[in-house]
Amino acid sequence: MAMTAILLVCAGHFADLPAQSPSDLPFPLIRRFENFGIKDGLPTHKVHCVLPASDGKLWVGTWKGLVIREDGKFRRIGIEDGLSHPMVVCMVEDPGTGDLWIGTMRGLNRFSAGRMTVLTQTSCGLPNNVIYGLEIMSNTLWVATAAGLGAMDLKTGAWSIYDHNNTVMHEPWVYSVTAAKDRLFVGVWGGGILEYELSKQIFKEHRDPDRDFHFDLVPDDGPVNDVTSWVAWSDGILWQGTYFGMSRYDGLRWRTWQEKKSPLPSNFINFIFARGRVAWIGTDRGVSVTDGDTWANYHTDAKGATIVEISRPHQPVETRSLPTHLPNDFVLGLWANESEAWFATSDGLGHGFLGPAETLPASASVNKY
């Protein structure tokens, strides 16, 4: 009896200890969150995208307008300020000029030194007003729209359009575009991934070899699915998010993941932010961070607390509780560096602090707004 008690205590003690130190992970962990909602000045709970700019300001795209956070305060920029539509879907900063390009559900906007300029499909060569993704590369603004990929020369303002009429694109509904060193990768809804080599001006298609809508019949043979919701590239690695799993491509080899068969928490991927060789993944069930081998999945458990499940190769999953939590598990947008991460979710804006653990008073463990 006593021996049983001793063993139980030891087991409980060891259960509290991490299997290994978090310093063995290839990426930092989120130690705590602070969250922002309507009470903090956001115009709505629904946040689509987030972008820290090079001048230190934070830009937030929401269902009800563009928001800028400076000096700790949120300020809304809406259609009354010249924004073409309140639903802000994506943003990109021009590294040369600092101008912010904003994609909405009705038109493209350039915000420069306080002035908004609107470009629409009726006023210029933009292929379509419904804009899902933006990228800047080689003095060109690349725009992923519901009717093709648009490319605007930032010096001349001249537009080119790439769609199913003049490329191998399967259909024109383009969800995202990401720049690699000398090429672009384009996520096409129902069309897999297009790879565009700038110097040769040729497109190449990457399609799911299985052609099966729901299952990854043969893993690691190509894109996991043709319904591409997002693409992101960094340090030689292309990440593909779909509604049916995730893929990774290093230029030679593909790897695929689906839920239940891998640490990927959900097949439904909204967004991927890639930094170095690590991907931050926004799903409908929280946030995942991975380099393809090691995973850290953040989501809310049944009791309402955010936990992180750390999956290391060939090791049991380690679960840790966080004193604070994500605003919502439906994550639509992300941004991260070595010390912090921002999360655009269906129910508020989340700010994650990365690095060493901090001890917080118990009352701070619940962060509701």
Partner 1 sequence: MKATRLITWTSLAGIFVLLGHHFGGQAHIRRKLGQKPLAETTCLNCHFVSVKSLPWAQPRPHHDSPAGLAVSPDGTRIWIALDDQDQVAEADVKAMRVIRRAKVPGAPYGLALDPRGKQLFVACKSQDRVAVLDTTTLTEIDSIEVGMGPVALAFSATPKGARLLVANSMSDDISVLSVSPWRELSRPAAGREPFAVAASCDGTRAFVANRLVGLASVKSVPESELTQIDATTCRVTSRDALASAHLSESVCSVPSRSWVLTPLVKVRNMVPITQVANGWVMSSGFAVADRPSGRIVQLPLDEANDYFSDPSGVAADPSGHFAFVASGGSDVISVIDLARVSNWLARATQAQRDDAIYDLSLSPEYVVKRVRTGRNPRQLALTPDGSKLFVSERLDDSVLVIDTGTLNPAGRIRLGDGGRDDPIRLGERVFTSSAYTFQHQFSCRSCHPDGHVDGLSYDFDGDGIGDNLLDNRSLQGVAGTGPFKWNGKNPSLEIQCGVRFAKVLMRTEPFPAKELRDLTAFIKSLPPPRVNRTNRDHLSPSEERGRAIFFATRTPDGREIPVSSRCVTCHAPPLYTVRLPFKVGTKGQFDTTEAFDTPHLLGVADTAPYLHDGRAQSLEEIWTLYSTNDAHGVTSYMNKIQLNDLVAFLKTL
In sequence order, what are the residues at sequence separation of 6 or more whose Cβ sits closer than 8 angstroms to the Cβ of residue 131?
A: 89, 90, 103, 104, 105, 107, 108, 143, 144, 145
* Cβ proximity to partner 1, 51 vs 161, nearer residue: 161
CA distance 229 to 169: 15
* Cβ proximity to partner 1, 97 vs 321, nearer residue: 97
The count of other CB atoms within 10 Å of the CB of residue 46 is 18
Say which amino acid occupies 312: R
CA distance 33 to 15: 24
* Cβ proximity to partner 1, 79 vs 305, nearer residue: 79
Shortest CB 136 distance to partner 1, Å: 13
In sequence order, what are the residues at sequence separation of 6 or more whose Cβ sits closer than 8 angstroms to the Cβ of residue 244?
A: 213, 214, 216, 224, 225, 227, 258, 267
Shortest CB 319 distance to partner 1, Å: 46
Residue with tokens 């709505």: 44
CA distance 140 to 170: 23
Shortest CB 86 distance to partner 1, Å: 21
The count of other CB atoms within 10 Å of the CB of residue 18 is 11
* Cβ proximity to partner 1, 10 vs 158, nearer residue: 158
Can you read off the two tokens belonging to residue 325? Answer: 């939590």
* Cβ proximity to partner 1, 152 vs 246, nearer residue: 152
Cβ atoms 263, 257 nearer than 8 A: yes
Q: Element (H or E) spanning 324, and its range?
A: none
CA distance 158 to 339: 39
* Cβ proximity to partner 1, 159 vs 353, nearer residue: 159
Shortest CB 159 distance to partner 1, Å: 6
Shortest CB 44 distance to partner 1, Å: 28
- For 12, phi then psi, to 5°, come to -65, -40
* Cβ proximity to partner 1, 124 vs 354, nearer residue: 124
Residue ranges that bind partner 1, judged by CB under 8 A: 55, 96-99, 110, 112-115, 117, 121-125, 127-128, 147-148, 154-156, 158-161, 163, 165-166
Shortest CB 98 distance to partner 1, Å: 4
Shortest CB 119 distance to partner 1, Å: 9
